[in-house]
Structure 1
Amino acid sequence: MSWLIVRGKRPAELRAQFGFFETGKREFVPESDVTEALLPSGWHLIFFNDASPPEIGDEALCRISRGAEAMAFVVEEASMVSLARGYAGGKRIWEVLHDSNEGLEHLAVSGEPPKSFPAIRDRLLNELRADQDPCDYLFDVPADLSKAEAGFRHDEDIEGVEGDAFAILERS
């Protein structure tokens, strides 16, 4: 699965730029192919039940980030690869990648991630190193970044939101 969050553009503008339209249907959990939600943090979330939809490609996110901030997140549990990227001003400004195939401590970082990154990384690294039978703690770095920055994590309820938070979208 993957999702992007955008701040600085209206939801209708984002839908138009991506070629989405509203269906008028909602759901409690994002089970449809594409859904959206306005987060209490002010970020607009678009959620994909696909790890690599075209909307989270570098070119699309550079375009969307002109005049806005955008972050994209990918969680691929089958391969235990997770990714977070940040965009602003039409450019990618940071990336955090974890690939467990490279080892449980693998974390490739470029640019300048959000201020919440070092504490998240350090906490998860400490948990990994303290565990007698370690699992893939660093896989959670991108999801925890999403939670810290926008208040959304794919496997948790959205704090402060009741009912069917996710509006179902369709591609044109």
Structure 2
Amino acid sequence: MGFHVSWITIRGIAPEAVREQLQLRETGEREELPESDIAEALLPSGWQLIFFNDPCPEEIEDKNLKALSAGCEVMAFVVEECSMTTLAMSYVNGDSVWHVAHDSDSGLEHMEVTGTPPVCFSEIYSKLLAELKADENPCDYLFDVPAELSKVLTGFRHDCDIEGADGDVFSILEKT
């Protein structure tokens, strides 16, 4: 099993405009957890979340994230637990700002960073790297760096409850 998902968070434009640009529409159905192919939630942090039960939907391709971020801020996240890879990306006003990725096939200490991630990246990375180095039987601690970075910045992590949210917080979406 494991997670094989991705999501986009957006702030700075109306949720309706995001759905229109991504060619998505609300079905009128809701769910407590994002178990449908595509779901949406408005996070307490102010970000709009579009969640995909697919690690590689076309919506998270670089060109599409650049287009979506015109006039706003976008973060995207991918987790593929079979291959133990995670990726977090940030886009603002049509430009890629930073990218943080871990691929365990490249080693337990692998961390690819492009651009300038936010200050909290260094804190998260240093803490998890120290745990890795202190563990006599280390596991893949750095796998959590992109996920923790995303949680700190948006308030959402794919494998945690949304703090401050109760009930059926996810609206089920479908492609138009």
In the superposition, the TM-score normalised over structure 2's length comes to 0.96
Instruction: Tell me the equivalent position of 2:150.
Output: 146
Alignment-mate amino acid for residue 151 of structure 2? K
Is 1:20 matched with 2:27?
no
Question: Which of 116, 119, 122 matches 1:118?
Answer: 122
The CA deviation at 1:109 is: 0.3
Q: Distance in 2 between matches of 1:162 and 1:132?
A: 40
Q: How does 1:35-74 map to 2 (within 5 A)?
A: 35-74=39-78
Alignment-mate amino acid for residue 110 of structure 2? H
Matched length: 172
What do the CA deviations read for 1:47-93 (whole angstroms, capped 9, x no partner)? 00000000011011000111000011000000001101110010111
Q: Distance in 1 between matches of 2:149 and 2:29?
A: 29
Alignment-mate amino acid for residue 167 of structure 1? S
Is 1:77 matched with 2:81?
yes
Structure 2 residues without counterparts, runs of 5 or longer: none
SS of 1:158's equivalent? coil
Question: Which of 118, 134, 156 matches 1:130?
Answer: 134
- Percent identity between the two aligned chains: 58
Provide the alpha-carbon RMSD of the alignment: 0.6
Could you list the structure 1 runs, at least 4 aligned residues long, displaced by more than 4 angstroms after superposition: none
The CA deviation at 1:132 is: 1.2
SS of 1:92's equivalent? strand
Alignment-mate amino acid for residue 51 of structure 2? F
Question: Which of 163, 167, 170 matches 2:171?
Answer: 167
Structure 1 residues without counterparts, runs of 5 or longer: none
Alignment-mate amino acid for residue 68 of structure 1? C
SS of 1:30's equivalent? coil
The CA deviation at 1:155 is: 0.5
What do the CA deviations read for 1:79-130 (whole angstroms, capped 9, x no partner)? 0011011100101111001000000000010101122100010111011111
The CA deviation at 1:146 is: 1.0
What do the CA deviations read for 1:129-172 (whole angstroms, capped 9, x no partner)? 11111110111111101110011000000000010111000001
Q: Distance in 1 between matches of 2:147 and 2:168?
A: 21
